[in-house]
Amino acid sequence: MLDRLAGFVVRKRLAVLVVGLLLAVVGGVASTTLFDKLTAGGFDDPTSESSRAITALDKRFGQGLPNLTLLVTSEGRVDDPSVTAAGTELTRKLGDEPGVANVSSYWTTGKAPQLRGKSGHKALIMGTVTGDDTTSQKRVAELADRYEGSRDGLEVTFGGYTKFQRELLEQGQKDATTGETVAIPITLVALVFIFGSAVAAALPLAVALVAMMLTMGLTWILASVTTVGSLAASVVTLLGLGLAIDYSLLMVSRYREELRSGLAPPEAIRAMLTSAGRTVTFSALTVAVSSLAMAWFPLQAVRSMGYAGALTALLSGASSLIVLPALLALLGNRIEKGRVFRRRRTATAGGAGSEAAARSVESGFWHRLATTVMRRPVPIVTIVTGFLLLLGAPFLGINLGMPDERVMPASSSARQVADTVRAEFDSSEQNALQVVAPEGGSDRAAVGAYAKRLSELPHVAAVRTATGTYAEGRQAAPPDQRYARFASGDAVYFSVVPETASADDADRLVGEIRSQKAPFEALVGGAAATNHDAAAALEKWLPYALGTVLLTMLVLLFLVTGSVMLPFLALVLSALSLTATFGALVWVFQDGHLAGLFGDFTPTGNIAATIPVMLFGLAFGLAMDYQVFLLSRMREEYELTGSPTAAVAQGLERTGRIVTAAAVAISVVFLAFTVSGISLVKAYGVGLPLAVLMDATLIRGAVLPAAMRLGGRATWWAPAPLRRLHSRYGLREEPAAPTPRRDGDRALTG
């Protein structure tokens, strides 16, 4: 198939480039309105009990969870007559706004103490912006433009969950642009050093830009028919740039190698596609499969990143397989134009049969490293594995949570309001859980008895419902007109106020309420319940996601290696390469070590539960990417030499420079994630380069050669039926020309 693709692209190169350019332009134009279609949030399970509680609250009571908080600051005290009048008027005006419901404030609730700051100069206005995420986020932006700032002697700052979502979306758009601005010029400089030619260096970037615009266009279509989270844009931008450069590096290097061996450009393109092209195809599939495994999780933010990662990988691979060969066919031998400096030529595939080429390969750095490692495999694999496990040790102390306003930079108004509320207000009332009974509320005796029982639970300060307020198992206040909102027909709901704002206490309280026997169906909702259910969904679906990745990878790795043992070894080594990533995730972003090195973010003492899941989905695919590069070339060498040790040493030498270059280039791109103002995104900027670099250095240079030396010929073994299957369907690289068998064991035997 790739052979036929090579012939088609060479013949129709101009048509391929014109169509590719037109599609990229269309995708680029569509991407200008992409962020209008994306939504922030998506960290909840829409199938959970908490989501059903929110739906019932809206349907039966016309109420939503409070998602808007206005922090009002005055020079005078909030109880002064002038401040009271201004605050009351502001509350009234906000309540009259379309799309805003349930507005209340310190001044309209009988001066509730939990809405008054400790200093006496700050108070809160609470409300609900109605509509879906997209509608409410746009509405809160309009309201902030009208009401935020100084008015009538008051300083008003907007916060709350919907404002947080809006700012997350805006910051994501800003970060995507900044990331591109930082990554592209630095990567171009790195590529010039790698290739030594300005023309060759420009090709991977050109392909990357085409792939990114195509992916943005398809993401725009996807966002038009389903909900796509804002973090997906960062994945498309930087993962697309990184993967396309990665794949193009491999392809261009193989093309230049074939030209140096004496092939004409059309034959070099064919050889490139039927060898490196197979590796790129498989690599794109591995990243896509790892990303798509995230579709098992019902959280939209996780699913969105999975869809974006899969689209990005497939289109980056397709661009490298179609657009890049067309560019090479157009350039021919001119790929070496714009030579910046001369590089000493290394051995090529075409010259591998000569004695001089063999000596050149055997004197290379990676060949010498592999032979050194394979002479002492046991101590080396033990030391390096122990070191990697040590780097991953902090992950044992991970404390999972869910993202809140603290993931935003200090300049975020939602972050500022949340920090002020935590520091100066009794925020337990704002963290109340809503227990909704869609039916059975007409039995007031049963309602009161259930409320009393809930008020006896540990960490419950009060329970409010249609029959009054309850505390410590007794009625603390009788019902009056203020309690009418808790009942609607035969439906009733309960507001359960925790004693503290502790997230751990609130999480335990969710479980305790659900364990209570209720006289009617009772659905527990609220922020703590949403987080509880989201974490439970991640835990529930994680085995399915892992199973999908592992099973698919085993099949694909067998197709590329023809071995029974190597797929399992590759999976173990890829997982091992992630230890440093997950250790750093906890050490930096949870515990706060070296936090200042990565810009403006606040360690919160926990890690959003979605980060390890999403990071694994992306990083595992990337780690497998380099395993594929190595194993596919080692398979080629093994078929030529019949020697397992020569296959490792010579395969590592022939891929050494280009895999190192690819790892550096993609790490430069991923490091651009660290310029983000969102700590969730910064975590990818630290974690992904670590995974790539660990895999491209310690795993490739030490653990893999040592493990394969210990396995010997058994490493490449497969039973006869599977050998026949691989012979027919295997994704093997095909060398451009037959090469005599080499005695590759010389380096090990002396």
Last residue of a domain, one of 128, 143, 159: 159
Inside any domain, residue 640:
yes
The predicted structure's pLDDT at residue 93: 92
What value does the mean pLDDT take over residues 616-637? Answer: 79
Inside any domain, residue 59:
no
Q: Are 654 and 372 in contact (CB under 8 A)?
A: no
Inside any domain, residue 408:
no
Last residue of a domain, one of 501, 532, 563: 532
Of the candidates 255, 232, 586, 241, the residue with the CA atom closest to the CA atom of residue 398 = 586
Give the pair of three-digit tokens for residue 507. Answer: 């999480």
* Number of Cβ atoms within 10 Å of the Cβ of 82: 12
Residues 275 and 190 both lie in one domain: yes
Q: For the chain, report the end-to-end CA distance as a whole number of angstroms.
A: 43
The predicted structure's pLDDT at residue 343: 52
CATH number at residue 133: 3.30.70.1320
pTM score, two decimals? 0.80
Residues 226, 608: Cα–Cα separation, whole Å? 24
What value does the mean pLDDT take over residues 78-102? Answer: 91
Inside any domain, residue 39:
no
CATH number at residue 743: 1.20.1640.10
**pLDDT band of 544, cuts 50, 70, 90:** very high
Sequence-ordered alpha helix ranges (H) in 296-397: 300-331, 355-362, 365-375, 377-392
Q: Assign 468 to helix, strand or coil.
A: strand
The predicted structure's pLDDT at residue 342: 58
DSSP secondary structure code for residue 593 in this structure: T
DSSP secondary structure code for residue 235 in this structure: I
Q: Please compute Rg for the chain using Cα positions.
A: 30
Q: pLDDT digit string (tens) for 112-162? A: 788 899 889 999 998 888 877 778 888 998 999 999 999 888 999 999 888
Residues 478, 27: Cα–Cα separation, whole Å? 62
- Which of 247-256, 337-346, 719-728 bottoms out in mean pLDDT, i.e. has the lowest? 337-346
**Domain limits at 102?**
68-159
Residues 239, 242: Cα–Cα separation, whole Å? 5
Length of the chain: 750
> Is residue 737 over pLDDT 60?
no
Residues 378 and 421 both lie in one domain: no
Give the pair of three-digit tokens for residue 747. Answer: 């380096």
Q: pLDDT digit string (tens) for 659-670? A: 888 888 888 888
> Is residue 741 over pLDDT 50?
no
Residues 577 and 489 both lie in one domain: no
Inside any domain, residue 49:
no
Inside any domain, residue 57:
no
Higher pLDDT, 345 or 593: 593
Residues 272 and 313 both lie in one domain: yes
- Which of 18-22, 352-356, 403-407 bottoms out in mean pLDDT, i.e. has the lowest? 352-356
> Is residue 501 over pLDDT 80?
no
Residues 48, 55: Cα–Cα separation, whole Å? 11
Residues 662, 714: Cα–Cα separation, whole Å? 30
Inside any domain, residue 409:
no
The predicted structure's pLDDT at residue 341: 60
Q: Are 607 and 399 in contact (CB under 8 A)?
A: yes
The predicted structure's pLDDT at residue 429: 67
DSSP secondary structure code for residue 585 in this structure: I
Q: Assign 433 to helix, strand or coil.
A: strand
- Which of 253-257, 357-361, 711-715 bottoms out in mean pLDDT, i.e. has the lowest? 357-361
Residues in CB range of 139: below 8 A, 6 or more apart: 99, 100, 129, 131, 162
Residues 652, 631: Cα–Cα separation, whole Å? 9
Residues 527 and 537 both lie in one domain: no
Give the pair of three-digit tokens for residue 569. Answer: 């070894």
Residues 429 and 506 both lie in one domain: yes
The predicted structure's pLDDT at residue 361: 59
Q: What share of the chain is helix, strand, coil (3-state, %, to 5)?
A: 70, 10, 25
Residues 509 and 657 both lie in one domain: no
What value does the mean pLDDT take over residues 258-279? Answer: 87
Last residue of a domain, one of 159, 185, 213: 159
Average pLDDT, the chain: 84
Residues in CB range of 126: below 8 A, 6 or more apart: 66, 68, 69, 70, 102, 103, 104, 105, 115, 430
The dihedral sign for the CA sequence 148, 162, 589, 230: negative
Q: pLDDT digit string (tens) for 415-441? A: 999 889 888 887 666 678 999 998 877
Q: Are 170 and 90 in contact (CB under 8 A)?
A: no
Inside any domain, residue 58:
no
